[in-house]
A and B are shown apart, each in its own frame.
Chain A
Amino acid sequence: MTDDESKSPSEIKSQPDVKIYSLSTCSHCKSAKKFLGECTIKYEFVDVDLLEGDERKAIIDDVKKFNPRCSFPTVIIGDKVIVGYKEKEIKEALGLE
């Protein structure tokens, strides 16, 4: 039995975890969310501009760990970090190419 055969269908099709650090006002962030939605990819996102106080500081520190320039969107796909809305890189990281 191969690894895949031992897994349930949902496990075989499982996608890497996807998280977007975004701004609610940013055109590239909106494009990235729209694209993932169209690809029926599940993702989490946090609109950093809508956060306040300590929560905002903590999330900014998180973003900087992945992307020291703290620009948006910062897209995390599994262990890959994609800075900006780069459709080709996002597709590759998701194995859609």
Chain B
Amino acid sequence: MNAQQLYDMMKKVQEAKGYYFNEDRERVFDLLESLILNKQRYGYMGCPCRLLSGDRAKDRDIICPCVYSVPDIAEFGSCYCNLYVSKEWNEGKMPRDYVPERRPPEKMPF
């Protein structure tokens, strides 16, 4: 799968849930390429913005879209990576604050 195919597939799935790709297309495709790279490296599309363990079970919560993206988009309008955002975030109707790491430290396998 290439980045365009991943984009088309995820756009359909995520927009139905009310989540949108960041309007910054270059950033989005860079992140999608990283997801594909992580799939090749580890066998799963782990979050490109977090250090992955290489163990799918330990990283289950940060397989994209991660479990934290739902509360992050609800609170900040964006996921941790700025890959998925709300409509309002894309339209500039809310501040684009830096999204802090929500993953609890005890989930980190390091």
Interface residues of A (CB under 8 A from B): 23, 25-30, 48-49, 60, 64, 68-72, 84-86
Contacts and interface: CB of A to CB of B under 8 A. Distances in A.
A49 B52 contact: yes
Interface of B: 27, 30-31, 34, 37-38, 48-52, 81-83, 98, 100-101, 105, 108, 110
Given A25-B38, A49-B52, 19 more contacts: A23-B49, A23-B50, A25-B34, A26-B48, A26-B50, A26-B81, A27-B27, A27-B31, A27-B83, A28-B81, A48-B51, A49-B51, A60-B51, A60-B110, A69-B108, A70-B110, A84-B98, A85-B98, A86-B98
12 contacts: A23-B51, A25-B34, A26-B48, A27-B48, A27-B49, A27-B83, A30-B30, A49-B51, A60-B110, A70-B108, A84-B98, A85-B98
- Of the candidates A30, A71, A72, the one having the most CB atoms from chain B within 10 angstroms of its own CB is A71
A68 B105 contact: yes
Contacts of B101: 69, 71
Contacts of B108: 69-70
Interface SS of chain B: loop
Contacts of A60: 51, 110
Contacts of B38: 25
B56 to A, nearest CB: 16
Contacts of B50: 23, 26, 71-72
B9 to A, nearest CB: 20
A27 B30 contact: yes
